[in-house]
Structure 1
Amino acid sequence: MHWFETQLAALNRLAADYLAAQRQSGGDIVNVSESARTKRAAFIDAVQALVDKVVKIKGIAACAAYHDGLILAQSAEVPHIDAFGAVIQETIRAAQHGQVSLSLGAIEQIVIVGADHKLAMLSVGPIILCIYSPKQVNLASVLSRQA
């Protein structure tokens, strides 16, 4: 497993921990809520840290993370941040319709390639991690190197 896959696996574990803490029910609502807040903060901090590392990789122009089309974390260089959110939300929605009708299973990644740039969208727990790069960049290759 290369560097980026390791990072995604760690984020997925943090997301699972957070979602499990949210589902907990019991007599001590205050402590359960504190646990959920702590796990949520750990997940969001880890998402921002990964975004910060990814954008430093040569060949990556921008990186951001969205939840339901709303920005959760971003690199300083993300152009047209609101447009990214809109494209992501609509693309994921369309893919989810295909997921059911084509029996694809859960959507893991989508890549849109334009004449100049490409946008990769990866599902990580409850978020979509977006990586924007020039078209000619081989994302698998550059993301396998540690930032």
Structure 2
Amino acid sequence: MPWFQAQMAELQRLAEEYALSQQQTASNIVNVSEKMRLKRAEFIDAVQVLVDKIGKIKGISACAAYHDGLILAQSAHPAAIDAFGATLQESARAAQQGAALLGLGELEQIVIVGAKNKVAMLSIGPLMLCISSPKQINLALALNRPH
């Protein structure tokens, strides 16, 4: 399995474990809360590690992870981090409505290509991973090179 696909599969697994920890019955609220906190921290830490690695890939301008338009992790300091979040939130909202009308199922990715740059938004559990690069960069190739 290529590097990026393996990373996404691992994050999806961690997101599912975190979601399951939130659904635990509260027979022992202290243990359930601690397990949920640990699963959340494990997921968020893995997201930050991936965002950092992606941000260092040649040809990638920036990478950030958002939940409901709020930033959870970012590589270095993307120039327009607030615009990144606003674009994500508005694009995701419009795409979700369109996906529902067209019967596409749950959104997996959105790509916006401009004359100079592009932004790819990928769904990972409860958050969106945003990757910005110059238009001519083939993100699939860049993300699947050995790191």
Matched with 2:133 is: 133
Q: Give the share of equivalent positions with the same residue, in percent.
A: 65
Query: Whole-Å Cα distance in 1 between the matches of residues 91 and 64 of structure 2?
Result: 16
Q: Which runs of no fewer than 5 residues in structure 2 stay unpaired?
A: none
Report the TM-score, using the length of structure 1 for normalisation: 0.98
CA RMSD in angstroms, aligned pairs only:
0.7
**CA contact 1:61–1:77 (8 Å) conserved in 2:** no
Q: How many residues matched? A: 147
Query: 1:21-58 deviations in whole A, cap 9, x for unaligned?
Result: 01111310110000000000000000000000001111
* Counterpart mapping for 1:23-34 below 5 A: 23-34=23-34
* Counterpart mapping for 1:66-77 below 5 A: 66-77=66-77
Q: Which runs of no fewer than 5 residues in structure 1 stay unpaired?
A: none
Query: Whole-Å Cα distance in 1 between the matches of residues 19 and 79 of structure 2?
Result: 31
Report the TM-score, using the length of structure 2 for normalisation: 0.98
Matched with 1:113 is: 113
Flag as ranges the 4+ runs of structure 1 deviating above 3 A: none
* Counterpart mapping for 1:22-61 below 5 A: 22-61=22-61
Matched with 2:10 is: 10
